Copies of this chain bind each other. A is one copy, B any other.
Amino acid sequence: MLATMKATERRSRQREELRAEILRAARGIVLGEGYRALTMRRIAEAIDYSAAAIYQYFENRDAIAASLMDQGFEELAASFEACAAIADPAARLEAVGRAYVAFGLDHPETYRLMFMEDPEMTASLLERETGRQGPGERAYGALIGPVAELAAAGRLQPGGEAQPIADALWSALHGMVALKLTCPQFPATPTDTLLDTMLRGFVRGFIR
């Protein structure tokens, strides 16, 4: 009985461990060779199992991708945490914006997976997220929070509402990252200049 306990526990720990190893391998492949190289057989080779074995740990390839997306959102939210200490909402918002773009450019393949690949996958993940306080919502909160604070302090331009403004900023930042990832040589403006320009315009356009 006691031995049974120990055994099943060890078994489930080993399960967890192998599952994690699959994800580790998958992550390595995506980072090193891109999402297109993420094949079941390639993962299997990396962990020294057969491809079929993976299906005991993940329903299918999309489930693996979804897990990688989850990790991505965690990292993104984590990179926002560092900005939380900034008191002034305008300064915090700018810091979050810069962190967002930095994340996208530093983890192009992950970002691509999260926001540019399969609509259905992104949708189902965000839906699943809607349960309270997942990393996706936390990340989104880091954007809308400062804008809401500015609105509450009467520091938005007249007629401006928090949500549309926050969404507009997110869209614009996403556009910058997405465009750089899809066609690096275009637009011609260097990334830093582009980001500075965008943020300056945003501040002048929405904050007073």
Instruction: Write the residues of chain A forming the contact surface with B, with a CB cutoff of 8 angstroms.
Output: 115-117, 119, 122-123, 126, 157, 160, 163-168, 170-176, 178-179, 181-189, 193-194, 197-198, 200-206
Contacts and interface: CB of A to CB of B under 8 A. Distances in A.
Contact of A183 (B122, B176, B202): B122
B126 A182 contact: no
Most buried by B among A163, A167, A194, A204: A167
A179 to B, nearest CB: 5
A129 to B, nearest CB: 10
Nearest to A125: B183
Contacts of A204: 157, 204-206
A202 B172 CA distance: 11
Contacts of A193: 164
Nearest to A122: B183
A171 B168 contact: no
20 contacts: A115-B178, A115-B179, A116-B178, A126-B186, A164-B189, A164-B194, A165-B201, A167-B187, A167-B189, A168-B201, A170-B187, A171-B179, A171-B194, A171-B198, A172-B172, A173-B175, A174-B178, A175-B176, A178-B178, A205-B205
